[in-house]
Every structure is written in structure tokens, then in C-alpha cells.
Chains A and B, each alone.
Chain A
Amino acid sequence: MDFASSERAGAQPKEITSAKIVIAGGFGVGKTTLVGAVSEIEPLTTEAVMTSAGQGIDDASKVPGKETTTVAMDFGRITMADDLILYLFGTPGQTRFWFMWDELIRGAVGAAVLVDTRRISDAFAPLDYFENRHLPYLVALNCFDGAPRYEPEEVREALAIAPHVPLLMCDARHRDSVKSVLVGVVEHAMATLVAEQGRGYPATVG
């Protein structure tokens, strides 16, 4: 019996679920470094081609004369089980490619906005973006060596980060630090989901 059922299980491939977390932030803030710190593969780059009109991923051959632009996104992979894979997608650095961000956040678990404490103002555009979306996100201050250190609350005030958005320090080069960022994103996503569901979340009540 066991033999027969395990044989059948082997022949019937399991449904594999994939989830993604988006790593956002300005150009050169360390998104790919962060992805690389936990990914089981060297971060890969996928490219989308669009016309200069920026109307989306378009077919340049249909509109001769328009220049094409390539938008690159780096991503990594963590295989968590034979039926669960987590992908980490870095947003394109150039904030004018918002349409690509829209595609990236669709269906995402949550996002981390990475902030370089030496160039805090680069974070305004990404933060504005997430303020107007439904995706749960947190802010991670990437503290490079020698980067000016600010108290998290100073940064929160400077960037006008809402009180409900978690803010934490990290070092994008270090696996454990990046792990905490990702754990923070998922925990925040869970808290957001529970809050959305209302106070009557009964599942864990003994």
C-alpha cells in the first residue's frame, strides 16, 4: 500500500508554489548585493525591452524610428522546499521605469526599500511609489562602512516614513543581516494581512 502510494506520488509531480519579495531603492544602493547575500544562485539579470515612449514592454519593430531602451532587473532564488521557491527581485534603479515596478510588485509578498544613508534623498521616489500601493513594505537602512550613521528615528523623520512602516538597519553584504530584513518583510506582511482581516483572527486562539 505504502509502496503503491509513494510510487504514484513520485509519478505525479507536486504543484510548486513560487513567491517573491521585491527589493527596491535608488541606483547603486546595494540591491543586487543584498540579493546576492542570500541567493543560492549568482544574481541573474533579466531584461525588458521597451520603446523610448515608455509605454510598457513594447515591440520596437512595429514602430520604426523609436529608440529602444533596455530595463534590467537583477534577481536571486532561494529554494525552500521541493514545492516552494522564493525569488528576490531588485527593481530597476532608474525610477522612470515605474511600469516595470508595477509588474514586479504584482503578486509579491512584500517589499524592502533599501536606503543608502549617504544619499538619503534618493529614497524619496521609491518611498513615494510604495506609499501609493497596497503592498506591505519596510525600509532598510543599508549601513556601508564609513557611511554617516543616523538614528533610525532621524531617518524616519527626514523621509517622512509613516509610523506603521517598519524601519531597520542592515548591511546588504551580510547574509544574516539580509535574512533579518527578509524576515522583517514577511512578518510585516503577516501583520498587515491580519490587520486587514480585522481583529477577529481566530486561527491561533487556543
Chain B
Amino acid sequence: MGQPNDPRGNLVRPYAVTRGRTEPRRDIPIEAVLVASQAAVQESRFAGHDKYRIAVLCEPRAQSLAEIAAYSRLPLGVARVLVADMVADGLLSLHSAAPKEGFTERMDLLERVLSGLRKL
């Protein structure tokens, strides 16, 4: 799996950790966040090293698919396959990306983001 400090170490055979699968079980947006419960962290000990590390990462605070890929040093496509598996197996809960439909829903989100930015 490459040297821990070599960010490209895991890219040698990118899909080896998914046993060659390249299609995620469900599409997950790059910014969608995932959370693992403490119970899920315990359970994921038996799901393999990569999935366990992902669960540990998502237990103290919600992490996006992009953060999971970056912290795990996995290419985005590989992380997406693993994360989709973990969602299907109940090890991670998937939270919602920004609504794409509905005027009120979209406007509410924009207003919240705007006020969040102004408070920075």
C-alpha cells in the first residue's frame, strides 16, 4: 500500500482495495458528509483496514467524501466505492448535499450560507 508519507503510494493499483470494483453501489457527491456512530466504529473493525480507518475518521466529526479520500490517501473513485459500501452496510450515515430542487429549499440554504459567510 505504499509508504505512509507518500501521498501517491496508494495510487499504484488504485482499485486493489476495492478488489477491482470501480462502480460504487450508489453515487455520493464529493461534498456529501458522512458520520460513523461509536457502534459502527467497533463493527467496522471487522470490515477491513481501510473501512475501519474511514469509520474512525468520521466518528468525532462529519467528513465529506473529499476529506475521507484526502485523509485516507485514496483516490476519490476508490474512496467512493468504499464509502458507498459502508453506507449500504450501515457503517456510515450519509447526510444530504445541497438541495437541487425547490425554490424555497434552495433559497433557505443560500440564506444560511450567506449569513454564515458574513459571520466569518
Contacts and interface: CB of A to CB of B under 8 A. Distances in A.
Interface of A: 13, 15-20, 38, 44-49, 57-62, 68, 70, 73, 75, 77-78, 80-81, 84-87, 89, 103-104, 106-109, 175, 179, 182-183, 186-187, 189-190, 193-194, 197, 203
A57 B77 CA distance: 7
A44 B70 contact: yes
B52 to A, nearest CB: 20
Nearest to B100: A107
B76 A186 contact: no
A40 B33 CA distance: 16
B20 A193 contact: no
B96 A87 contact: no
15 contacts: A15-B95, A16-B33, A16-B62, A18-B33, A18-B98, A47-B8, A59-B77, A61-B20, A77-B64, A80-B116, A106-B29, A107-B98, A179-B117, A190-B107, A193-B103
Given A70-B75, A106-B29, 13 more contacts: A13-B93, A15-B96, A17-B95, A18-B32, A18-B96, A44-B66, A48-B77, A59-B22, A80-B116, A109-B98, A183-B117, A190-B107, A193-B103
A186 B118 CA distance: 11
A146 B105 CA distance: 44
Contact of B64 (A60, A85, A107, A193): A85
Nearest to B118: A183
Contacts of B83: none
Contact of A59 (B20, B32, B119): B20
B35 interface: yes
B30 interface: yes
Contacts of A203: 104, 107
Interface residues of B, number: 46
A80 B112 contact: yes
Interface of B: 7-8, 11, 13-16, 20, 22, 29-33, 35, 62, 64, 66-67, 69-71, 75-77, 93, 95-98, 100, 103-104, 106-107, 109-114, 116-120
Given A59-B22, A189-B110, A193-B103, A182 B117 contact: yes
Contacts of B119: 80
B96 to A, nearest CB: 6
A187 B107 contact: no
Contacts of A62: 20, 22
A119 to B, nearest CB: 28
